[in-house]
């Protein structure tokens, strides 16, 4: 039982990080119908912003933790908006494949610029948060895990409010449903797209810092694997569907952790992806996704 709870907790914190990344993939897909492959590298940049901010702030303080998080979120929001404005927007209106290839190029650009600037050697992430371990009946809970789960949950509630309770959030859903009709009520699509990139990138930035807290070294290629998994989580939940991305990420995180804790741990990723393929075979549109006929 303790073992089960322990894995549940580990899975929850891993899934929460995947969720923060997956939400950005799914929101951008929702409004632009393309996968922003550079998103996983925005996550990496978030971790690096956290690294440099964390070094300059007093360690072992919750306040520094929040400041670090805020810095990474703000920095990544700006980066995401810039990437869209400078790289993707000029290609809008052309074939989707062009943007998709450009997104892969942008991803490689960020990864190797990262290596040039930060070096390829992994760096230890500063211990911003007091490293406390709570032990209840053999259940080991680290302060970091608690923070990851609580912060991710709060951010998702904030996202929910932003998307469902604000005017710009409603406009974002309107653009995702029908960009032409959205323009006809006077919505400036460019503003909504910038907002979407900013929001998604801020969450990825937060994900980068939270990930770095639990996996204490960071390097410019650290985004590749979590990014791929978050992308898969978004597809699993039904790409374009916001609650779906969170659900898909939790399922993926849990599956991975439980297999990791079993005697098949070597095949962790293989089994996790097999589960995914299985689910997609039965629900090709994803868990919460619906088949929508593409309007032309």
Partner 1 sequence: MLEVSNLFVSYGAIAALRGISLRVEKGAIVTLIGGNGAGKTTTLRTVSGLHRPLGGTVRFLGEDITHVPVHKIVARGLGHVPEGRMIFSNLTVDENLAMGAYLLKDKAAIARNRDYVFGIFPRLKERLRQTAGTLSGGEQQMLAIGRALMGDPKFLMLDEPSLGIAPRLISTIFEKIIEINRDRGIAILLVEQNANLALEISSYAYVMETGHVTVEGRSEELRDNPQLKAAYLGG
Residues that bind partner 1 (CB under 8 A): 167, 170-171, 173-174, 177-178, 180-189
| Least spacing, CB of residue 188 vs partner 1, in Å | 5
| 192-196: Cβ within 8 A, 24+ apart | 192/31, 192/168, 193/31, 193/32, 193/84, 193/89, 194/81, 194/84, 194/85, 195/168, 196/27, 196/28, 196/30, 196/31, 196/32, 196/172
User: 3-class secondary structure for 90-106?
Assistant: HHCCCCHHHHHHHHHHH
| Least spacing, CB of residue 186 vs partner 1, in Å | 4
| Least spacing, CB of residue 83 vs partner 1, in Å | 22
Decide if 243 contacts 289 (C-beta within 8 A): no
| Least spacing, CB of residue 240 vs partner 1, in Å | 11
| Least spacing, CB of residue 191 vs partner 1, in Å | 9
Distances from the Cα of 199 to the Cα of 59, 233, 244, angstroms? 28, 18, 17
Q: Which CB, 129 or 182, lies closer to partner 1?
A: 182
């Amino acid at each position: 039982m303790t073992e089960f709870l322990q894995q549940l907790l580990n899975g929850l914190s891993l899934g929460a990080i995947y969720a923060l990344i997956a939400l950005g993939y799914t929101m951008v897909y929702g409004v632009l119908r393309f996968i922003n492959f550079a998103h996983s590298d925005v996550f990496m940049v978030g971790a690096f912003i956290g690294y440099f901010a964390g070094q300059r702030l007093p360690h072992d303080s919750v306040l520094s933790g929040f400041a670090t998080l805020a810095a990474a979120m703000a920095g990544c929001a700006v980066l995401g908006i810039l990437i869209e404005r400078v790289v993707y927007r000029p290609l809008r209106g052309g074939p989707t494949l062009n943007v998709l290839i450009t997104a892969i190029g942008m991803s490689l650009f960020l990864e190797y610029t990262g290596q040039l600037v930060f070096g390829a050697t992994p760096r230890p992430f500063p211990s911003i948060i007091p490293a406390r371990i709570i032990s209840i009946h053999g259940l080991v809970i680290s302060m970091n895990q608690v923070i990851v789960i609580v912060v991710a949950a709060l951010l998702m509630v904030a996202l929910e409010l932003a998307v469902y309770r604000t005017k710009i959030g409603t406009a974002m859903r309107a653009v995702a449903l029908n960009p032409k009709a959205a323009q006809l009520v006077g919505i400036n699509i460019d503003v909504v797209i910038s907002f979407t990139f900013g929001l998604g990138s801020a969450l990825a930035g937060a994900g980068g810092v939270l990930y770095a807290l639990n996996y204490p070294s960071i390097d410019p290629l650290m985004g590749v694997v979590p990014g791929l998994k978050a992308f898969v989580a978004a597809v699993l939940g039904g790409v374009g569907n916001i609650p779906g991305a969170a659900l898909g990420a939790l399922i993926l995180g849990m599956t991975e952790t439980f297999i990791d804790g079993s005697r098949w741990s070597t095949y962790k990723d293989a089994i996790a992806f097999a589960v995914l393929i299985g689910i997609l075979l039965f629900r090709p549109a994803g868990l919460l996704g619906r088949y929508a006929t593409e309007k032309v």
